[in-house]
């Protein structure tokens, strides 16, 4: 204990196991340490039950000037000395083990944080591009040189009629349009409607086409053609089948 005073040396001091330098250092520490004074008092009460312990070890806590030179305690029995030494060594091993365990835990936590950060920064999968809606079914295409519009319809027979997909290009807004299915007998059925913004669809500066889905109660065999019409009147594109 020559390097520092340890609270766990109270028992060793009570039994007179400390060397001269360590004893004087502990006595100086004892003056200002209430917890060591209390523990020494408890040990002093129990020390009387141990045969061979001196009055100095079992007596009250020393106090006042010159007390540290008030005689040396007589040596306690060898089994008690051995017990106290084992306890002191065990306490020191526990403190060292607790320190090393705490250091290892901190290092493990730091390593885990670094590993997580690396996984987030370096190993996270790149975001997938948005899935574009694709036309499925039997396809028919047409273009209108006078309006600049072009488009494709894709048809799928259903029990309730026909599922219709539309891809439209070459239109600028603002417009409001709708797609009509026209039967071979002239019957008309609105498939879907939409608005065209100023920037349009499938034109320079806005190359993405309009892609949408709709349906009609007409069967595939009944449909003669499709028309992309303006809500206010007029036809942008006709797609024959």
Q: Which two tokens stand for residue 216?
A: 């009609």
Do residues 228 and 236 make contact, with C-beta atoms less than 8 angstroms apart?
Answer: yes
- What was the pLDDT predicted at 237? 97
Per-residue pLDDT of the chain (241 residues; tens, 9 = 90+): 444 555 556 677 776 777 788 788 878 877 888 777 777 776 665 545 444 444 444 344 444 444 444 444 444 555 555 556 666 666 655 555 554 555 555 555 545 554 444 444 555 565 555 444 678 999 999 999 999 999 999 999 999 999 999 999 999 999 999 999 999 999 999 999 999 999 999 999 999 999 999 999 999 999 999 999 999 999 999 999 9
Q: What is the pLDDT of residue 117?
A: 45
- pLDDT at position 94, please? 58
DSSP, collapsed to helix, strand or coil, labels residue 146 as coil
User: Tell me, what's the pLDDT at 12?
Assistant: 73
Do 24 and 13 touch, CB atoms closer than 8 A? no
The Cα–Cα gap between 78 and 62 comes to 25
Cα separation, 92 vs 86, whole angstroms: 10
Order of strands across the sheet with 235-240?
Answer: 188-196, 175-183, 223-230, 235-240
The reported pLDDT for the residue numbered 188 is 96
Q: Which residues of 20-43 are buried (b: 16+ CB within 10 A; e: fewer)?
A: eebbebbbebbeebeebeebbeeb
Per the listing, tokens 């670094």 go with: 114
pLDDT given at position 36: 79
Distances (CA, A) of 14 to 5, 53, 76, 95: 15, 9, 10, 21
């Amino acid at each position: 204990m020559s390097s520092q005073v340890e609270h766990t040396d109270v028992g060793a001091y009570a039994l007179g196991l400390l060397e001269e330098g360590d004893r004087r250092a502990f006595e100086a520490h004892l003056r200002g340490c209430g917890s060591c004074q209390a523990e020494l008092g408890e040990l002093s009460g129990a020390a009387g039950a141990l045969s061979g312990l001196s009055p100095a070890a079992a007596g009250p806590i020393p106090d006042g000037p010159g007390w540290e030179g008030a005689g040396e305690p007589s040596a306690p029995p060898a089994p008690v000395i051995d017990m106290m030494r084992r306890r002191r060594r065990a306490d020191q091993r526990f403190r060292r083990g607790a320190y090393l365990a705490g250091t290892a835990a901190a290092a493990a936590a730091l390593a885990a944080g670094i590993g997580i950060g690396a996984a987030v920064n370096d190993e996270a999968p790149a975001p997938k591009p948005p899935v574009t809606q694709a036309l499925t079914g039997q396809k028919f295409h047409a273009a209108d040189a006078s309006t600049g519009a072009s488009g494709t319809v894709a048809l799928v027979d259903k029990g309730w009629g026909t599922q219709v997909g539309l891809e439209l290009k070459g239109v600028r807004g603002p417009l409001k349009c709708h797609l009509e299915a026209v039967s071979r007998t002239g019957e008309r059925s609105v498939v879907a409607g939409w608005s065209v913004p100023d920037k349009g669809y499938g034109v320079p500066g806005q190359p993405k086409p309009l892609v949408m889905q709709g349906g009609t109660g007409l069967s595939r065999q009944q449909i003669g053609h499709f028309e992309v019409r303006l809500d206010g009147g007029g036809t942008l594109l006709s797609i024959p089948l």
